[in-house]
Amino acid sequence: MLDLIKVSKTFFAGTLNEKKALNSIDLHLDRGDFLTIIGSNGAGKSSLFNAIAGVFYVDTGAILLDNQNITMVADYKRAYDIGRLMQDPMKGTAPSMTIEENLALAYSRKAHKSFFALNRRDSEYFRELLARLDLGLENRMKTKVGNLSGGQRQAVTLLMCTISLPKLLLLDEHTAALDPATAQKILKITVDIVAESSITTMMITHDIRSALAVGNRTIMMDEGEIILDIKGEERDRMTIEELLDYYYKERKKQLTDDRILLS
Ligand SMILES: Nc1ncnc2c1ncn2[C@@H]1O[C@H](COP(=O)(O)OP(=O)(O)OP(=O)(O)O)[C@@H](O)[C@H]1O
Ligand SMILES: [Mg+2]
């Protein structure tokens, strides 16, 4: 459903600061895949998402979504098919709008309805979705999102990103700014929503244990390349130590991530 063919992106080409963020990336995802992505700081993980979402155009290569070549399609057009969640819980929702209004906004975009045309049935649907989060937010639909905790807000953002059933969901360390207990909760909610909606998902995480536990496939990136791609039994058997050893053997250096979690 997603194909990246020899995708490259270099920043500041031809200068002293030249940086190859993506180096001839080949990647194929099947519908319903849940891919987790690990790698050191600056490995190119977020750049991979930026390329897919169209934050920038790639220098060379092609990106196909459902066999449609989207390489030169503008980001706002790709946004109909690609949902994206970032690290910062303060982004992704409108703080001065209520939970219900935020969801309505996201929902109306997909339904191609006017925001004002949303009715009681839509509202009931939002309540149902919120109830499934098990955070009590279904009783706070008129609360301004700005008054929620980071975890609650990230949960609402997750709903906003998935309510429109995008073809592809990109999660860029979306639990990294939360305390460990909340992060686990949001991760569980993520897994539940993805399983229920069968949205093809890519998740960047610094939490290697989660990377191996969640989803059906894991890739490791370094210096703009995919240096490991595992699934099935090989992935089931893989331990955190083996992954770190692999990185060390391949790159002759330790995997470094300022947010890395190894336990
Ligand atoms: N817009 C940009 N302009 C210039 N350089 C960039 C830009 N985006 C990324 N880079 C550079 O490309 C490289 C890859 O960055 P990227 O953000 O993709 O790494 P990452 O794997 O997401 O790292 P982290 O774990 O720190 O989030 C880095 O050297 C970064 O400085
Ligand atoms: Mg990043």
Ligand sitting nearest the alpha carbon of 38? 1
pLDDT above 80 (res 109):
no
Distance 64 CA to ligand 1 centre (A): 23
pLDDT above 70 (res 111):
no
Q: Which among 8, 19, 258 is the best mutation to test ligand 1's pocket, defined by most ligand atoms within 8 Å of the CB?
A: 19
* Position 111 in a domain: no
- Give yes or no for a contact between 127 and 138, defined as CB atoms under 8 angstroms apart: yes
Distance 233 CA to ligand 2 centre (A): 28
Classified as helix, coil or strand, 35 is strand
* Position 183 in a domain: no
What tokens appear for 74 in the block? 């503008």
* Position 148 in a domain: no
Alpha-carbon gap, residue 175 to 96, rounded angstroms: 23
* Position 32 in a domain: yes
- Looking at the structure of the chain, the number of domains it has is 1
Specify the pLDDT at position 254: 84
* Position 241 in a domain: yes
Residues facing 82 on adjacent strands: 168
* Position 109 in a domain: no
> Ligand 1 atom closest to Cα of 39?
21
* Position 133 in a domain: no
Specify the pLDDT at position 78: 95
In this predicted model, what pLDDT tens digit does every residue of 28-68 receive, in sequence order? 999 999 999 999 999 999 999 999 999 999 999 999 999 99
More confident residue, 81 or 90: 81
pLDDT above 70 (res 117):
no
Strand order in the sheet with 60-65: 19-29, 2-11, 60-65, 68-69
- Give yes or no for a contact between 199 and 166, defined as CB atoms under 8 angstroms apart: yes
Q: Which domain holds residue 54?
A: 1-81+205-263
From the CA atom positions of the chain, what is the Rg in Å? 19
Measured by CA distance, the residue closest to atom 31 of ligand 1 is 42
Phi, psi of 245 (to 5 degrees): -60, -45
CA distances from 166 to 25, 49, 158 (A): 23, 15, 12
Give percent of the chain above pLDDT 70: 94
Q: Which among 10, 17, 36, 47 is the best mutation to test ligand 1's pocket, defined by most ligand atoms within 8 Å of the CB?
A: 47
| Helix/strand/coil percentages in the chain, nearest 5 | 40, 25, 35
Mean pLDDT of the chain: 92
Residues with CB under 6 A from ligand 1: 11, 19, 21, 39, 41-47, 257
Classified as helix, coil or strand, 80 is coil
pLDDT above 70 (res 168):
yes
* Position 132 in a domain: no
* Nearest-5° Cα angle at 83, 123 to 36: 125
CATH number (domain holding residue 235): 3.40.50.300
Specify the pLDDT at position 144: 96
Specify the pLDDT at position 115: 66
Total-model pTM = 0.93
Measured by CA distance, the residue closest to atom 26 of ligand 1 is 41
Q: Give the pairing of strands 68-69 and 60-65.
A: antiparallel
Specify the pLDDT at position 214: 96
